Structure 1
Amino acid sequence: MSIASCLTDVPHPGEFLKEEIEARGWLQRDLAYILGVPEQAITMIIAGKRGISPEMAKALGDAFDVSADYFANLQQSYEMSNARAPDPGVARRAALQGSYPVREMIKRGWLEDTDVGMLEAQMMRFFKVNRLQDVPHLAHAAKKADYSETTPTQFAWLYRVKQLCSEMVCESYSENKLRSAISNMSRLMVDPEEIREVPRVLAECGVRFAVVETLPKANIDGVCFWLGDSPVVGMTTRHDRIDNFWFVLRHELEHVLNQDGKNDPQIDVDLEGDNAGDGADLSSEERAANIAAASFCVPNDDMESFYIRKYPFISEKDVLGFSRRVQRHPGIVVGQLQRRMKRYDYLTKYKVKIRHYLTPSSLVDGWGQCPPVSL
């Protein structure tokens, strides 16, 4: 028997109180005298016009020598049985919010704040499925095992990048053009303002590029996946530092060159510290991308030579001179040195912010911007 059926037609606790009084041969005024309350107070309860308060439950418990919980539970059962049924949308909204950051998605403009039926329809359109149970993670049994290690929040961010980039008009992808572009990008790595050229350079190679602000607790730095024969690179710039930007970008472009992400999106989380190294605990794809990114930020041979000669006494003057020689912004060099030395407080003043240079020339979602897309 369901809980709902058990709570149907529960009598008012006043009926039980009347039975208890009669069983003892008392009158209502006798109980009122014992409790030290007006007789009307007892009459109102027995008539079903007043409930039993917690204080009254305790007093009745003493008067009848039973647990106060007996009367408190009678009142609670009666109130529950007469409570209005909740809006059916409560459970449905809870199912959505329990899996995905729906409120944040509404705040960001990815979804409209509508009734639950329309909200469910929007979720299906957002994830490009025809049935609500096919939305990954929603039914606690993702249909696509490929995403088993991707959290719902990360998955929502990924699909926003897909939404935006699927509507971009882009050149056909050319691996040769991309390799040439990467070789020539060093000219953009001295002045932070030159970062604004990156979206144009990538578009000319046929790489779709978008900057989408991360969602809370997603910790995403970048992603590489493919829309047909067209590669997509998405970034969050959540750290907003020149060294992190160039490392993450080159990391994702290495995935593109190796055609990683063609079957499963290559979502990169926390590309800092050991996750940005070449340890054996990383996958071969991630190690290859990290090695390529580190050497791109500062050519490996040059860095090795400089580090061997100067470590552990690497002065600010040394860093600035070396940066000029390898034609890199000092913040990029500092980023690589910090990782090698595991000293993340070293010369942080050179790790300048870059997002304000990048976003005016990029397809951007977040920080108050929400480009329109067709759901």
Structure 2
Amino acid sequence: MDGFVNDVPAPGLFIREELEARGWTQSDLAYVLGIAESELSAILAGKRGITPERAKAFGKAFDVAAELFANLQNAYDLSRAREPDPNVERKARLQSVYPIRDMIKRGWLIDSAASLLEAQLASFFEASSINEVPQLAHAAMKSNYGDVPAAQLAWLYRVRQIAKEMVVPAYSEKALRKALAEMKQYMIDPADTRHVARLLSECGIRYVVVEALPNSKIDGVCFWIDDSPVIGMSILKDRIDNFWFVLRHEIEHVLQGDGRDLAIIDSELEGAGGGTGSEVPEQERNANKEAADYCVPIREMESFFLRKNPFFSERDLLGFAKRMQVHPGIVAGQLRRRLNRWDLFSKHLVKIRQSVLSTAMCDGWGQVAPLSN
């Protein structure tokens, strides 16, 4: 029908009806509006749009709200606009749940059309189709990870991808407990954290370091591939105290056999997640207690705290750390946690990430783990 696009009439049709109702000619309306008759003819024919200024003028001329003509023009313009690429809606669905752009930047996915991107995501999450991907549309209720933030879940599956390709000997709890004792000597010099990956591998543990995705707030994970334990860490906080606490926390999960059925995902271990109160799940309380005791024996820490509180000098810190045979930053971390004073002894919280990454299987910080597929 002339003047219609997809059953949406051009604004000129309504203007003609108003002219007829008033018995006006186009020349009359052009005169009232103070515009050339040729401009009005173009508007009536749908060849020229109604600008906001003209909408106000038509409103005054016909004694109606200017929004009427603005809305008529907007509806007509939308009806004439081309349909968007179908990829837009499908990609928006994916991006609304998972950090797709960040996953592409990290090399976990290859930017492509929506259909190929969906297929990649299904493969990434070891699902048969996009509708089986955890937390996406209808699959959300089927997922055992329904309460896990999507960014953490993506990080977990990246750790899993890398761990599956690692070759380690059979896991030995006896070897791991022996390695824990040996690792004590590496808690003095930050550079010695490079030995951790080797020791864990010799015990049959697949140790993977993957940079956290933005806003994921994840510290570590423990799960099993068959009878082989996996420890994943993000080194989200690149500090010697946090590294040893998170590492020992995850090792305790391994020793207790946690994560065999469902991965244990640990986040905010420096905050509420690192406590030992009744609000923290029992297996997490136990792991936190063992981690704190490993960093600095709890009885020794308690004695030091009672003797020096509330004044802890630099000399006190260094002397106690030397006696405990750990880096001062590890003691500082325990003090900060106990006092809830995150400003104390900050200079001792040295970075260790580069030392750890020098020997560990890693992904992130500008490098992509080499995978076979």
- For this structure pair, what is the TM-score category when the shorter chain's length is used for normalisation? over 0.9
Is 1:220 paired with 2:231?
no
User: For 2:357 and 2:298, how far apart are their aligned partners in 1?
Assistant: 30
Deviations 1:271-328 (A, max 9, x none): 0144322111001100000010001001122222222222222221121111111111
Q: CA deviation at 1:175?
A: 0.7
Deviations 1:86-117 (A, max 9, x none): 11111100100000000010011110111111
Q: CA deviation at 1:36?
A: 0.6
User: Per the alignment, do residues 277 and 70 of structure 1 end up closer, same or farther by CA in structure 2, a change over 3 Å counting?
Assistant: closer
TM-score by length of 1: 0.95
1:153 aligns with: 151
The one-letter amino acid paired with 1:110 is: W
1:3 aligns with: none
User: For 1:186 and 1:193, how far apart are their aligned partners in 2?
Assistant: 13
- 8 Å CA contact 1:7, 1:80 repeated in 2: no
Question: Which consecutive segments of 4 or more residues in structure 1 shift more than 4 A?
Answer: none
User: For 2:179 and 2:130, how far apart are their aligned partners in 1?
Assistant: 43
2:181 aligns with: 183
2:94 aligns with: 96
SS of residue matched to 2:265: strand
Is 1:337 paired with 2:343?
no
Alignment of 1:127-206 (within 5 A): 127-139=125-137, 141-206=139-204
1:312 aligns with: 310
The 10-residue stretch of structure 1 (75-84 or 351-360) with the greater mean CA deviation from structure 2: 75-84
User: For 2:5 and 2:225, how far apart are their aligned partners in 1?
Assistant: 55
User: For 1:104 and 1:323, how far apart are their aligned partners in 2?
Assistant: 40
User: For 1:267 and 1:7, how far apart are their aligned partners in 2?
Assistant: 55
Deviations 1:58-94 (A, max 9, x none): 1111111222222222212211221111111111001
User: For 1:274 and 1:43, how far apart are their aligned partners in 2?
Assistant: 70
User: Per the alignment, do residues 186 and 7 of structure 1 end up closer, same or farther by CA in structure 2, a change over 3 Å counting?
Assistant: farther
Indicate the RMSD between aligned Cα atoms, in angstroms.
1.5
Alignment of 1:25-174 (within 5 A): 25-139=23-137, 141-174=139-172
SS of residue matched to 1:268: strand
Deviations 1:12-36 (A, max 9, x none): 2222222221222222111111001
SS of residue matched to 2:285: helix
The one-letter amino acid paired with 1:162 is: R
SS of residue matched to 1:222: strand
User: For 2:141 and 2:5, how far apart are their aligned partners in 1?
Assistant: 38
User: For 1:299 and 1:140, how far apart are their aligned partners in 2?
Assistant: 49
Alignment of 1:289-308 (within 5 A): 289-308=287-306
TM-score by length of 2: 0.96
- 8 Å CA contact 1:134, 1:143 repeated in 2: no
- 8 Å CA contact 1:222, 1:267 repeated in 2: yes
- 8 Å CA contact 1:208, 1:230 repeated in 2: yes
Q: CA deviation at 1:141?
A: 4.8
Q: Find the partner of 1:261 among 259, 262, 266.
A: 259
Deviations 1:93-148 (A, max 9, x none): 01000000000100111101111111111001000111111111111652444312
2:285 aligns with: 287
User: For 2:7 and 2:372, how far apart are their aligned partners in 1?
Assistant: 50
User: For 1:273 and 1:9, how far apart are their aligned partners in 2?
Assistant: 59
User: For 2:232 and 2:158, how far apart are their aligned partners in 1?
Assistant: 10
- 8 Å CA contact 1:255, 1:289 repeated in 2: yes
2:21 aligns with: 23
Is 1:244 paired with 2:242?
yes
Deviations 1:153-186 (A, max 9, x none): 1100100100111111111111110011112211
User: Per the alignment, do residues 140 and 151 of structure 1 end up closer, same or farther by CA in structure 2, a change over 3 Å counting?
Assistant: farther
- 8 Å CA contact 2:131, 2:138 repeated in 1: no
SS of residue matched to 2:9: coil
Q: CA deviation at 1:7?
A: 7.6
In percent, how many aligned pairs have the same letter?
A: 55
The one-letter amino acid paired with 2:109 is: L
User: For 2:143 and 2:41, how far apart are their aligned partners in 1?
Assistant: 65
Q: Find the partner of 1:9 among 7, 10, 13.
A: 7
Q: Gapped runs of 5+ residues in structure 1? A: 1-5
- 8 Å CA contact 2:118, 2:130 repeated in 1: yes
